[in-house]
């Protein structure tokens, strides 16, 4: 995995700094840099409950230039579809794979301030921009969410399998027949079959088979019909 530094440029809100750090920790990115962070915000974020080592180890820089000095690829993020296009813009899906393929040196991923995004000066340090897809009517994204979505795209993996509960022992045919008998009894006593044509047992057997009951659940169903039958007969 390409080593990656998340760089927050001029963040103002301690909650956003904390949220960015939290998303990083969730997705396994531990290198956080802050450029020109509002002092109070950074201090508050660090003292928040659960800030964690990541935030305490975050480095502060005065300029973007310092923050990316040891990086070989600098990528700016934006939710906007840009005004004057000075940079190549890749949608997040494509940008993330370019970052993964970059290989070699460290990559810096820049996020602008909550209010203004990255400035033209900030962008001049970027090799290209990455656009987070968003509805044109509502482009402005929350900083913590923008960080979460970008990092998620970097770690997403379609190869990972799904997990299903361990298959349980299927009900035996005998169990199913026992259930069928009690069901037929209960339904007969209830008058369910009155007036209906024959073949009801076969229809019921197919109905039960399609349930794909496991042995344990078959016992539960059997118990229920036994109880119902007892009640029906005792009335």
The only residue of 43, 59, 91, 203 in contact with a copy of itself, by rule CB under 8 A: 91
Comparing C-alpha atoms, which of 55, 56, 77, 71 is closest to residue 2?
Answer: 71
Q: Closest separation between CB of residue 212 and a copy of itself, Å?
A: 14
Q: Token digits for 231?
A: 């009640």
Q: Does 3 bind a copy of itself (CB under 8 A)?
A: no
Q: Token digits for 166?
A: 């361990």
The only residue of 100, 142, 188, 200 in contact with a copy of itself, by rule CB under 8 A: 142
CA separation for the pair 181, 179 (Å, rounded) = 5
Q: Token digits for 71?
A: 């990086």
Q: Closest separation between CB of residue 213 and a copy of itself, Å?
A: 16
Q: Does 153 bind a copy of itself (CB under 8 A)?
A: yes
Comparing C-alpha atoms, which of 156, 126, 118 is closest to residue 35?
Answer: 118
Which of 31-39, 102-110, 145-153, 193-201 is the region at the interface with a copy of itself (rule: CB under 8 A)?
A: 145-153
Q: Does 149 bind a copy of itself (CB under 8 A)?
A: yes
The only residue of 3, 103, 105, 133 in contact with a copy of itself, by rule CB under 8 A: 133
Q: CB–CB of 170/215 below 8 Å?
A: yes
CA separation for the pair 117, 123 (Å, rounded) = 10
Comparing C-alpha atoms, which of 228, 217, 221 is closest to residue 204?
Answer: 221
Q: What is the separation, in whole angstroms, between the first and last Cα of the chain?
A: 72
Q: Closest separation between CB of residue 217 and a copy of itself, Å?
A: 12
Which of 99-107, 155-163, 186-194, 202-210 is the region at the interface with a copy of itself (rule: CB under 8 A)?
A: 155-163
Q: Does 79 bind a copy of itself (CB under 8 A)?
A: yes
Q: Token digits for 41?
A: 């915000």
Q: CB–CB of 41/69 below 8 Å?
A: no
Q: With CB under 8 A, what is the number of residues at the site for a copy of itself?
A: 48
Binding mask 16-55 for a copy of itself (x = CB under 8 A): ---x--xx-xxxx-----------------------x---
Comparing C-alpha atoms, which of 146, 158, 139, 82 is closest to residue 109?
Answer: 146
Q: Token digits for 69?
A: 């000095």
Q: Does 7 bind a copy of itself (CB under 8 A)?
A: no
Given the rule CB under 8 A, which residues bind a copy of itself? 15, 19, 22-23, 25-28, 52, 79, 81, 85-95, 132-135, 137-139, 141-142, 144-145, 148-149, 152-153, 155-158, 160-166
């Amino acid at each position: 995995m390409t080593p990656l530094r998340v760089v927050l440029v001029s963040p103002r809100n301690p909650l956003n700094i904390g949220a960015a750090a939290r998303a990083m920790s969730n997705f396994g990115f531990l290198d956080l840099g802050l450029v020109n962070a509002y002092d109070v915000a950074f201090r508050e974020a660090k003292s928040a409950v659960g800030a964690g080592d990541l935030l305490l180890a975050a480095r502060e820089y005065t300029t973007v230039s310092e923050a990316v000095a040891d990086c070989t690829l600098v990528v700016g993020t934006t939710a906007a579809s840009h005004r004057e296009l000075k940079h190549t813009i890749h949608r997040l899906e494509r940008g993330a794979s370019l970052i993964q393929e970059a290989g070699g040196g460290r990559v810096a991923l820049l996020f602008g301030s909550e209010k203004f995004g990255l400035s033209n000066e900030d962008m001049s340090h970027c090799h290209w921009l990455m656009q987070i897809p968003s509805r044109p009517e509502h482009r402005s994204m929350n900083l913590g969410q923008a960080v979460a979505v970008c990092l998620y795209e970097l770690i997403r993996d379609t190869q990972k399998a799904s997990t299903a509960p361990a298959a349980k022992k299927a009900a035996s045919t005998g169990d199913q027949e026992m259930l069928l008998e009690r069901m037929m009894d209960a339904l007969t006593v209830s008058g369910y079959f009155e007036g209906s044509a024959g073949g009801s047992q076969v229809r019921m057997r197919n109905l039960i088979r399609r349930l794909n009951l496991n042995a344990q659940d078959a016992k539960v169903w059997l118990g229920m019909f036994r109880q119902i039958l007892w009640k029906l007969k005792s009335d």
